[in-house]
Structure 1
Amino acid sequence: MSCAAVDLGASSGRVILGRVGGGELTTTEVARFDNKPIRVPRGADDDRLHWDILRLYADVLAGLRRASELGPLDGIGIDSWAVDYGLLDAGGELLGNPIHYRDARTDGVLDQVRAELGARRIYATTGIQFMQINTLIQLVAARDSPALASARRLLLIPDLLCYWLTGEFGAEVTNASTTQLLDVGQRRWARELIRDAGIDEALLPRLREPGETIGVLAGSARDQLGGHATPVVAVGSHDTASAIVAVPATGTRFGYISCGTWSLVGLELAAPVLSEASRAANFTNELGVDGTTRYLRNVMGLWLLQESLRTWQSRGQQPEVVELLSGAAEAAPFRSLIDPDDPRFLAPGDMPARIAEVCRETGQPVPADRYQLVRCILESLALAYRRTLRTACELADREVDVLHIVGGGSRNELLCRWTADACGIPVVAGPVEATALGNLLVQARAVGAAGVGDLTAMRALVAATQDVHEYRPGGDIPAWDAAARRWSAIFER
């Protein structure tokens, strides 16, 4: 089958054409485009950070046109980042550009929601870690806004784009589970919690499972894509859900990191972990494909490096990533460490200055150059991965023999090597295009491709057809253990 995967990340989007079935799994990138937020003034001293969703939709259509020009498509699937949404009026029209999860409107609202609804109650129902970016927190922050008062429908980003392609409303369950509005044990909306939060439950559409056909191309989208009634399939529309489908694992004793702007570190389980200890550790239970649970914790990820690069570039400096990594490898180890999840690192801005501030506050040397700063970021990420993976195993009563790193971060050899050393187990890096591959596999199964009947078969096909690299622990393990103890003493909360 020939399918098109639309994969939208927090900084860029792609359209990937794939051929799936009969032992074949190949991909061709037919379009890539930026995804840059826009600051819109709301007054002299205030602004909002928005997604440019209309331009994204235009880029998606242009990419799908290129894919369809290479031959008829058997399916289309869309995945994206989580938690953000568009609001529609009674006529189905978008009321405004979706607000970015990094916007400051949610500052301070997380504590308000925990006080109003009860942290234990929220977690026992939704199983989702507490973050100020969650949809629940965003909606409480917007309770008195004119847009929410006028809205009749709320659609998460992939569901909004699928609605524009097909005219069909719905909410795919893997992405819906990230909102903190879903009863994770029942796989349905947590309606009582939603009402008690002061949110109109009528805003939320019918839930879909991955693999359901949403509809076929309709209206102007069908006209622009050659007039074909191509099926649009609900894939694991949270990008991490699709990425975990394409982890080339055998058996169940594996951990994973979906590594990009964010790093999602965790385990695949048969059921959620809703214990008080899990809540206290701020772990999340997101739903996965084929009834699985993604038990994980968000770590800030390569956003720290990406934002540092943007800062340097804004000053007229153009450091090459290869050069930065080479210099970081030669810099003094464990000189300065940070907690990647420090809330100060969430918003766009001068990341090197923020890292320097944390180092001064904690009595550590401030990185003296770019190489030391990059080493600080990558060593701190490896230590955060170690803590998160070990805590997940303890809370879920699970042992792992191997850690899979998928996504763009799997190309960062230095990070992969240091993660193997820090965690003390082999790291298998790749595939880079795990999200697109998982997207393609789920929709190919839905439209009848052979050899992709379940997750085991899908992962076997990935392992047989994609490039991966293994990194075994081989560095100074006692030094990593000592650094982990020091890191915990400084930053554990």
Structure 2
Amino acid sequence: MRFTAVDLGASSGRVMRAEVTADRVELVEVHRFPNRPVTVAGTLHWDVLALYQDMLEGLRKAGEADSIGIDSWAVDYGLLDDRGGLIGNPVHYRDARTARYTERLGADGYQVNGLQFLPFNTLYQLLESRLGHAETLLMIPDLLTYWLTGVKGAELTNASTTGLFDVRGRDWARPLIAELGLPMRIFPEISVPGTVVGPLNADVGREVGHGGVVTRVASHDTASAVVAVPAQTPGFAYISCGTWSLVGVELDEPVLTGDSMAANFTNEAGVDGTIRYLRNVMGLWILQECMRVWGESDLDGLLRAAALAEPYRMVIDPDDPGFLPPGDMPARIDAYCARTGQPSPGSRAQAVRCILESLALAYRRAVGDAARLSGREIEVVHIVGGGARNALLCQLTADATGLPVVAGPVEAAALGNVLVQARAMGLAADPRELVRRSQPLRTYHPGGGLG
């Protein structure tokens, strides 16, 4: 059977065509495009109409499919009026409007949503929004699904990132929503991954040149990526590594202890009733911004030079709030090093080395905390997503954690997207086994070299 995956990341999007059989999944990229935010009157927005047009172009190139699924980053949303029209472009989570939120809801709130405190969580964004004319809130994949099909709704895994979701009841946290003074009317019914939404509407069908149905996948891209983790035993940690790094374990029940809240771990819904117990780490965003400022595009060359640079000459905290907004990241690294009594990197290679070593140490902390807080024994770390291509980062992670690191698949979110669709159509009974059979994987052992 043939499937199409629309996979939207914070810096780029892609449309993938997939063929799935009983024992193989083959994925081909048909359209890749940038995801460029736009600042208007001091507010940072997503250009969601450009994303929609690129999605349609990808659907045209992909051709007829048995099903189409959409995943994206979390927390951001569009608001619709009573006629179903979009009320302004969605605001970007990196916009400064929620900067004043410095404290989470507290222990009572954590017992409900189990969510890591991040100032840009959906609930804080909504507290800064004017909702008087809003009738419906749709997370980004749900908004695009609505434009394709005319059907409004919410998908479980992305809803669980809002802070307004009851992680044990697996539905909207109605008492919390009321306590915050938010209108319950804007929150649509939640459906689980694998729910068939309906056919493309007639206008879209004419635009892309074919029909097809849309299936709600695990629409938070990390949830889709975890579906595609090629684990063989429960004793694994995952790092979904891209602009952000999501580091955690897969559990059957949430961990809602005071220690978990203090460690800033999050409990988000996965497929089949699972919990993605994880911590957000800043990720490759810092490196991406450095390369943008440098005007540098040769990542492979930078990584080769970084592998030869002096190890652990300086270390930063990737989660320092100063690294969150866009800007002159090399200058911010220099300032951080000066503030903490460390030497400046002094070269691009040393700066890259610093970033990757700092990420590896952050991964070690997060993996160790996940094991300690959940009681799960970790035997192997799986790195999926774009970071799986970064051999130096993978080796540094193996060295830092003292555990073998299995790298791949790179397009984990798109694969997970496809596999949820395929299972809804009666294929892919064991998605992870299909990934192991179909995708190139590389194992890094502690002390294995490269840096």
TM tier relative to shorter chain: over 0.9
Could you say what secondary structure the match of 1:178 adopts? coil
- Indicate whether 1:103 and 2:103 are aligned: no
Any idea what the Cα deviations from partners look like across 1:318-359, whole Å, max 9, x if unmatched? 352112111111111111100000011000000011111110
SS of equivalent residue, structure 1 residue 214: strand
SS at match of 1:384: helix
Report the 3-state secondary structure (helix = DSSP H, G, I; strand = E; otherwise coil) of the residue aligned with 1:326.
Answer: helix
Name 1:237's counterpart in structure 2: 219
Query: Offset at 1:220?
Result: 1.2
Matched, 1:196 2:179: yes
Asked whether 1:347 is paired with 2:343, we answer no
Cα displacement string for residues 403-430 of structure 1 (whole angstroms, at most 9, x for unaligned residues): 0000000000000000000000100000
- Say if 2:10 and 2:243, in contact at 8 Å, map to a contact too: yes
Contact 2:79–2:135 (CA<8 Å) still a contact in 1?
A: yes
Aligned to 2:45: 50
Q: Does the 8 Å CA contact 2:24/2:437 hold for their aligned counterparts? A: no
Q: In structure 1, how many angstroms separate the alpha carbons of the residues matched to 2:43 and 2:27? A: 37
What SS does the corresponding residue of 1:109 show, helix, strand or coil? coil
**Partner residue, 2:447:** 474
Change (3 A) 1:319 1:76: closer
Q: Which amino acid aligns with 2:159?
A: A
Equivalence for 1:490: none
> What amino acid does structure 2 have at the position aligned with 1:138?
Q
Match of residue 139 from structure 1: 126
> Which residue of 1 is the match for residue 67 of structure 2?
75
Match of 2:112 among 120, 125, 130: 125
The alpha-carbon deviation at position 226 of structure 1 amounts to: 2.8
8 Å contact 2:255–2:267 — kept in the other structure?
yes
Distance (whole Å) between structure 1 residues aligned to residue 210 and residue 31 of structure 2:
21
Q: What aligned pairs does 1:445-456 form with structure 2 within 5 A after superposition?
A: 445-449=423-427, 452-453=428-429
AA aligned to 2:431 is: M
Letter in 2 for 1:410: A
CA distance in structure 2 between the aligned counterparts of 1:219 and 1:49, rounded to whole angstroms: 33
What is the aligned residue count?
450
- Rate the CA distance shift 1:258–1:135 in 2: closer, same or farther, 3 A: same
Paired residue type of 1:374? V
- 1:381 maps to 2:359: yes
Amino acid at match of 1:219: A
The answer on 1:84 being equivalent to 2:76 is: yes
Matched to 1:59, the amino acid is D
Which structure shows the higher helix fraction? Answer: 1
TM-superposed CA distance for 1:125, in Å, is 0.2
Secondary structure in structure 1 of the residue aligned to 2:160: helix
Runs (4+) off by over 3 Å: none
Partner of 2:23: 23
When structure 1 is superposed on structure 2, of 192-201 and 408-417 the one drifting more is: 192-201
Deviation at 1:179, TM superposition (A): 0.5
Letter in 2 for 1:234: R
Counterpart of 2:399? 421
Q: How does 1:151-300 map to 2 (within 5 A)?
A: 151-228=134-211, 230-300=212-282
1:234-264 CA-to-partner distances (Å, cap 9, x unmatched) read 1000000000001111020100000000000
Structure 2 Cα separation of the partners of residues 304 and 212 of structure 1:
36
Q: Which amino acid aligns with 1:466?
A: Q
Per-residue deviation, 1:475: 5.7
Distance 1:94 1:422, change over 3 A: same
Structure 1 residue 439 and structure 2 residue 417: aligned? Answer: yes
> What letter is aligned with 1:161?
L
**1:464 aligns with one of 433, 437, 442:** 437
Contact 1:242 1:436 in 2 (8 A): yes
Deviations 1:431-455 (A, max 9, x none): 1011111000100111233xx12xx
- The CA deviation string for residues 145-198 of structure 1, in whole angstroms up to 9 with x for no partner, is 3xx211111000000000001111111000000000100001010011111112
Q: Any conservation in 2 of the 1:12–1:32 contact (CA below 8 Å)?
A: yes
State the Cα deviation string for residues 451-481 of structure 1 (Å, max 9, x = none). x12xxx11011001110000000169xxx9x
User: What is the TM-score of this pair, normalised by structure 2?
Assistant: 0.98
State yes or no: 1:397 paired with 2:375.
Answer: yes
Task: Determine if the alignment matches structure 1 residue 36 to structure 2 residue 49.
Answer: no
**SS at 2:276's partner residue?**
strand
Report the alpha carbon displacement of residue 219 of structure 1 after superposing the two structures with TM.
3.2
TM-score w.r.t. length of structure 1: 0.90
Distance 2:102 2:203 in 1: 41
Within 5 Å, give how 1:1-20 maps onto structure 2.
1-20=1-20
Contact map agreement 1:308 1:350 (CA 8 A) in 2: yes
- Unpaired runs of at least 5, structure 1: 42-46, 481-493
**3-state SS of paired residue (1:87):** strand
Report the AA paired with residue 438 of structure 2: T
Aligned to 1:44: none
Alpha-carbon separation, structure 2, partners of 1:226 and 1:362 = 58
Q: CA deviation at 1:110?
A: 3.9
In structure 1, what residue type is equivalent to 2:119? Q
CA RMSD of aligned residues (A): 1.2
**CA distance in 1: counterparts of 2:71 and 2:247, whole angstroms:** 19
Measure the CA separation in 1 of the matches of 2:448 and 2:4.
Answer: 41
Q: 1:133 & 1:430 partners in 2: Cα distance?
A: 29
| Separation (CA, whole Å) in 1 of partners of 2:152 and 2:128 | 25
Asked if the contact 1:235–1:443 (Cα under 8 Å) also holds between the matched residues in 2, the reply is: yes
Instruction: Note the alpha carbon deviations across 1:270-293, whole angstroms, 9 max, x for none.
Output: 111011100000000010011110
Instruction: Name the SS for the 2:277 alignment partner.
Output: strand
Distance 1:320 1:91 in 2: 48
Once the two structures are superposed, the pairs formed by residues 325-344 of structure 1 within 5 Å of their partners are 325-344=303-322
Q: How many Å apart are 1:122 and its aligned residue? A: 1.2
* Secondary structure of the corresponding residue to residue 124 of structure 2: helix
The answer (yes or no) to whether the contact 1:325–1:414 under 8 Å persists in 2 is yes
- Please report how far the alpha carbon of residue 223 of structure 1 lies from its aligned counterpart in structure 2 after TM superposition: 2.0
